[in-house]
A = this chain, B = another copy of it.
């Protein structure tokens, strides 16, 4: 009746999934704790189905695009609750659009920060070139040369 017919009815252990998706048992148990996964059991041991694996994949993809676990759970909860795929997609669509807006804003913020930082770096290099041209090429090495004395003592020049 389902499309599972053609799949081997295999299952996964917790560590198998962890290896496959490069995560940890603790994480999977955490997701379960938070209601994003609910694998079967054999005794105490967790037994993950293809379905669980698919859910995990969605969780990780969601995370990779910045969705919070709670949001992913919201989407997941619609799945298998009788309203089918369309509802899930509609919900996801909203979440995704929100995420897109947030990410674009964030990207703009990063752009601003980069501008500031680059200007500040330019200022500081120029300053350093005037005052201490000797330590300009590898300013990173300055730490090991801190004993060098300096002449004046004014206000700092970075970030103006």
Contact = CB atoms under 8 A, between A and B. Distances in A.
Interface of A: 3, 54, 58, 61-62, 64-66, 79, 83-94, 96-97, 99-100, 103-104, 106-107, 110-111, 113-114, 116-118, 120-121, 124-125, 127-128, 131-132, 135, 139-140, 142-143, 146, 150-159
| A-B CB proximity, top 4 nearest | A90-B142, A84-B150, A65-B113, A84-B153
A66 B113 contact: yes
B131 A85 contact: yes
B114 A100 contact: yes
A78 to B, nearest CB: 8
A89 B58 contact: no
B103 A110 contact: yes
Contact of A87 (B79, B91, B127, B150): B150
A128 B64 contact: no
A108 B13 CA distance: 34
B110 A114 contact: no
